[in-house]
Amino acid sequence: MSKISISFSLLFSFCSLFANAQTKSISKNNNSLPRPKLVVGIVVDQMRWDYLYRYHDLYSSTGGFKRLLGEGFSCENTFIPYIPTVTAAGHTCIYTGSIPAIHGIVGNSWYDNIQKKEMYCTDDSTVATVGSETVAVGKMSPRNMFATTIGDELRLATNFRSKVIAVSCKDRASILPGGHDPNGAYWYDNKTGNFVTSTYYKQTLPEWVQTFNDRKIVDSLYALNWNLAADSSQYPLYSTADSSDYEGTQIVDGKTTFPYPLSQFIGKDYGKIMFTPHANTMTTDMAIAALKGEKLGLGDVPDMLAVSYSTPDYIGHTNGPNSWEQMDDYIRLDKEIGRLLATLDAQVGKGNYTVFLSADHGAAHAARFSETHNLPGGAFSESALKNDMNEQLKNKYGFPNIIKGINEYQVTFNNDLLSRTENINREDLTNWVIRYLMARPEVASAFSFNKISQALIPEVQKERTINGYFAQRCGDIQFIPKPGYFGGSDKGTTHGAWNPYDAHIPLVWYGWGIKHGETNRETYMTDIAATVAALLHIQMPSGCIGKVIPEAFK
């Protein structure tokens, strides 16, 4: 039998097995294609894979993590297949099944080499804010993303009868997962405490969103302050001291210990909530409001809800992975996910919906934490590198600001200057910068993008660099830090590298069509959209390179 015949037979058998595996019809029409009524994507911003198990014994029996692991299917070795591992690229990859080299979202922001200006990932000057008088917060849309999402494909497959809603406190974590043609994408305005959208989507807020905003939940949550969720004796078992010299202070100046007084911010500062677990609660409340307001999962075709929890990223950047704050955040997040699942049970019915839980990236240990425990790593300043190089290059060539910027470990030349003068040879400049970087103690390798095929680096680093490269939006030289090193502050931490602490993420499937179990086979963030497409029997997104994870299916 030919390979083509074998592949077709296997595909036919798989599809037949999957269709017959469902014992409960979700439609009044017995001839309809078996599908879940609702797909819910849960993305946790800055969730290292090990958080699934590090605090396992502290997670609630009625919470989300134990339920997902205990009844669902876990892909234990899921990796991000590109760099930089940052929020915008991660959320886009999950829902498009694609990579920055194809979908174009190369970072949270970038210098656009065609438009010759700095760009934020969801910038759109042609639209306006809906739901707030804060002008900038709503000048956003998904137009900078070049591929469709799984939500777009679901809408296309059902002739736009399916509803797709995206919710997050971060604009990019709602807009990019929502896709190009959702029924709504909503994000938080920290100036007003309201959830907003833009005229890209609609001209006025739906009544259910306005009702949600009128409740001013943020003030109610501030009134609770931030106290420990578990007994204080538990925290030293999992984390370093409550106050460590590597922790930043984003809530109250100079304060790095519990409890955190928040009631002082009622009606005054709606941004502080993002550095507390209460923003997770607010996100769950908004997701539940969307479920009920849009009647998701109650129609004749599948719907989709994309939910992203942003607070772990804010707390992680400020306090680091080994802090009491991050530990407390995950104890509370577990309960929030459990509450969301309970609401799905009540509205859609257990067994009628499918959930996946993943993350956009992980995080490195805080630099000072690594130093204290004799671990390799540390922090360095990218702006200091830029300034030092520019000073030396000015002495060499006689021109200031030859290096335009350093972002996501990419060096961008001042190409306007280089095009105006014949006194700087680009190849000589490139070689000089590479030699400079290679002499730095924190740098493992450096190479020009246009010579990456010749770079003497491990294949995994080469592949992930290529996958993250989109010429219009990337720099001229890439450098790879040594393990544990990152560009940023010695307070808190950050992410963006290829290493497992940044690129090894959780991926857990649960609900309709999903069996209980796990696999240690290497899977990738790009496989999520492909697997959802197979589950729904719809086309993969337009830039998808992922592969279906058949082990997860019943």
In whole angstroms, give the CA distance from residue 182 to residue 163.
7
Q: Which residue has the tokens 């530990």?
A: 327
Q: Say which CATH class 378-441+443-481 falls into.
A: alpha beta
Looking at residue 215, its amino acid is R
Q: What is the pLDDT of residue 30?
A: 59
**Global pTM?**
0.93
**What is the C-alpha separation between 447 and 535, in angstroms, rounded?**
41
Amino acid type, 437:
L
Question: Among this protein's residues, is 87 annotated catalytic?
Answer: yes
What is the pLDDT at residue 197? 98
Q: Which two tokens stand for residue 251?
A: 């809530």
Please tell me whether residue 423 adopts helix, strand or coil conformation: coil
Distance CA 289, CA 114 (A): 41
CATH 3.40.720.10 fits 38-369+499-552, yes or no: yes
| Residue entry with tokens 């302050």 | 225
Distance, CA of 212 to CA of 167 (rounded, Å)? 13
Given this chain, do its domains 38-369+499-552 and 378-441+443-481 carry the same CATH topology? no
Show me where the domains of the chain are located. 38-369+499-552, 378-441+443-481
Of 122, 131, 125, nearest in space to 104 by CA: 122
* Residue among 418, 423, 421, 424 nearest 404 (CA): 418
Q: Is the peptide bond before 259 cis (omega within 30 degrees of 0)?
A: yes
In DSSP terms, which residues pair with 140 in a beta bridge?
123
Q: Residues with Cβ < 8 Å from 311, sequence gap 6 or more?
A: 45, 169, 274, 275, 276, 277, 279, 280, 283, 329, 333
Q: Take residue 494 and report the two structure tokens written for it.
A: 């950050």
Rounded CA-CA distance 36/494 in Å is 37
Q: Tokens 């509803």 sit at which residue?
A: 163
* Calpha distance 320→301 (Å, rounded): 43
CB count within 10 Å of CB 32 equals 12
Q: Please compute, for residue 238, the number of CA atoms within 13 A of its CA located in the half-sphere on the CB side.
A: 24
* 78, 85, 87, 523: the active-site residue: 87
Checking 245-248 for CB contacts under 8 A at 24+ apart, the result is 245/368, 246/320, 246/366, 246/367, 246/368, 246/369, 246/490, 246/491, 246/492, 247/318, 247/319, 247/320, 247/323, 247/325, 247/366, 247/491, 247/492, 248/317, 248/318, 248/319, 248/489, 248/491, 248/492
What is d(CA 274, CA 251) in angstroms, rounded to the nearest whole number? 9
- How far apart, in whole angstroms, are the C-alpha atoms of residue 449 and residue 476? 6
Phi, psi for 350 (deg, rounded to 5):
-60, 130
User: How far lies 475's CA from each of 251, 390, 406, 441, 518, in Å?
Assistant: 35, 16, 8, 22, 39
Per-residue pLDDT 10s for the chain (554 aa) are 444 343 444 444 444 444 444 434 344 455 789 999 999 999 999 999 999 999 999 999 999 999 999 999 999 999 999 999 999 999 999 999 999 999 999 999 999 999 999 999 999 999 999 999 999 999 999 999 999 999 999 999 999 999 999 999 999 999 999 999 999 999 999 999 999 999 999 999 999 999 999 999 999 999 999 999 999 999 999 999 999 999 999 999 889 999 999 999 999 999 999 999 999 999 999 999 999 999 999 999 999 999 999 999 999 999 999 999 999 999 999 999 999 999 999 999 999 999 999 999 999 999 999 999 999 999 999 999 999 999 999 999 999 999 999 999 999 999 999 999 999 999 999 999 999 999 999 999 999 999 999 999 999 999 999 999 999 999 999 999 999 999 999 999 999 999 999 999 999 999 999 999 999 999 999 999 999 999 999 999 999 999 999 999 99
Q: What is the 3-state secondary structure of 39-69?
A: EEEEEECCCCCCHHHHCHHHCCCCCCHHHHH
Handedness of CA 480, 311, 346, 303 (dihedral sign): negative
- Phi, psi at residue 279, to the nearest 5°? -70, -30
Query: How far apart, in whole angstroms, are the C-alpha atoms of residue 178 and residue 154?
Result: 12
Q: Taking phi first (over 0 means left), then psi (-120 to 50 degrees means alpha), and beta for anything else, what does residue 521 get?
A: beta
Q: What tokens were used for 341? A: 């699942």
Question: Which residue do the tokens 């929502």 mark?
Answer: 178
